[in-house]
Amino acid sequence: MDFTNIFVILYIVGTLSDFILGQVLEFVSYLNRCSYGLEIPSELEGLVEKSSLEKTVSYKNACYRLWIPRNILSSVLNAFLLLSGVYSWVFTLLWTWSGNIYRTSIIFVLFSSLPGELLDLPFALYREFKIEKDFGFSNMTLKMWIADELKGFVLNLVLIVPLVCAAVAILTHAGFWWWLLLGSVYVAFTFVVSYVYPTLIAPVFNKFTPLPDGELKERLVSLVEKCGFHARSIFVMDASKRSGHSNAYFTGLGKNKRIVLYDTLIDQLSVDEIEAVLAHELGHYKHKHIFKKRCVMIPMIFAVLFILAFLVLIPELYTGFGFNPDGNSLFAKTASIEIIGGADGPTSIFVANAVPAYLWIFGIFLAFEIFSGFGWIASLIGNASSRRDEFQADSFSASMCGNGEPLVQALVKLNKENLSELCPPKIYCLFNYDHPPLLERIRAVRKLHSEK
């Protein structure tokens, strides 16, 4: 392993910074719970009981104690697989065995996720059948859990294999401009998946039934019509079959849009409170939050792929993690790369010890591994934007319902039912919360109402 290689250095810096930041933030959150976790802010007097806070602290601490070894072991495993050259060796072995880049890429993608999944298995089982059951959340049986895992595996194959094949075909035949075509295919793929998710994917795991007639349906239908939201129907999901956690969400695109309420949500909240929660979700629609995020994300996808188009041409990206261009047959001594389209067609340049196109899929994998350690930067920006959107949606809910108290009551109940913290550290929220913490949301809603 060449520790002077710039890509190896970037990987080590990113991985260490991400690991240290995660450990520090979780420890700060733990200390905050120990010191202030049982305090009830004046805004929540009479709404929250100390016994509920004690349960929340115990639940979060149990999750934290499980997270520590899970995070350490997964970080060590991934660093070992990458820095020891295991990934490079496996890719070379698969190519030598099959001689087919499609088979090589599909098997490699599946293999690359296998070590992490196997390592995570005992932690996932412990959390589901020990922590979640001890705190009254999990209704899962082992049979149901295994069935969900198998369904998820098959579903991933159905979705990922065609996408990998499309990516390989584009990488090996589209020349330097593969990034533009692959970005277009990926964006189209995400839209197709979003469209079919409500009717083809979600029902694989849960049962969805139309919301029965009654006051709740009348109130929600009236609210939806008032907001101009066009959805096929309002559905109830049997979330309680697996968990006591509750939620509500929109899903689908175009005529396939649906509003989904967890059955646990209906059991836990009053009609006024459910209306306020749905009004909050409609606030995202009225403020075009999803559309705006897509307007940001789609150009970012193309920008990332454009940068990758240059990175995958650099032999050092591969040699730093186990490939040897002089002794490895996967490297070409010279390679022709089409770069510029002119009046007489594309211009080809020849690069010594260049990386052939059939290796670019592995180069993309390496690049994502290298820069994943810097993901906290994107999270910091994305979470800030998401929290701003949540405040706007809360404001919309308060205006639609006449005042913010139904939403406040709903947020407090959901916070208690899900054992969420009242006042996590601000520094922790900056990196880990895409929703504002409960106290901040309540203060913002009540301030808005008092100003009006």
Residue 49's pLDDT is what? 87
Residue 335's pLDDT is what? 47
Nearest Cα to Cα of residue 411 among 391, 384, 383: 391
Q: Where are the alpha helices (DSSP H) in 176-311?
A: 178-196, 215-227, 263-268, 271-286, 289-311
Average pLDDT over residues 86-100: 89
- Measure the N-to-C terminal CA separation of the chain; round to a whole number of Å: 64
Partner residues linked to 336 by β-bridges: 350
Does 124 have pLDDT greater than 90? yes
**Would you please indicate which residues are annotated as catalytic (active-site) residues?**
281, 394
Q: How high is the mean pLDDT of the chain?
A: 87
Pull the structure tokens for residue 444.
């913002």
| Of the listed ranges 196-200, 202-206, 343-347, 362-366, the one predicted with least confidence | 343-347
Residue 334's pLDDT is what? 45
Cα 96 from chain centre: 35
pLDDT tens by residue, 59-68: 999 999 999 9
Specify the DSSP class assigned to residue 451: H
400 near 277, Cβ under 8 Å?
no
Residue 348's pLDDT is what? 44
The answer for residues whose C-beta is within 8 angstroms of residue 204's C-beta and 6 or more apart is 151, 155
Pull the structure tokens for residue 82.
């990458």
Q: Model confidence at 331, in pLDDT bands (50, 70, 90)?
A: low
Residue 333's pLDDT is what? 47
Q: Model confidence at 250, in pLDDT bands (50, 70, 90)?
A: confident
**Where are any strands of DSSP class E within 353-448?**
none
Neighbouring C-beta atoms of residue 151, cutoff 10 Å: 12
pTM of the model: 0.85
d(CA 217, CA 210): 10
d(CA 163, CA 185): 9
d(CA 274, CA 280): 10
Average pLDDT over residues 417-446: 91
Amino acid sitting at position 343: A
Average pLDDT over residues 86-91: 91
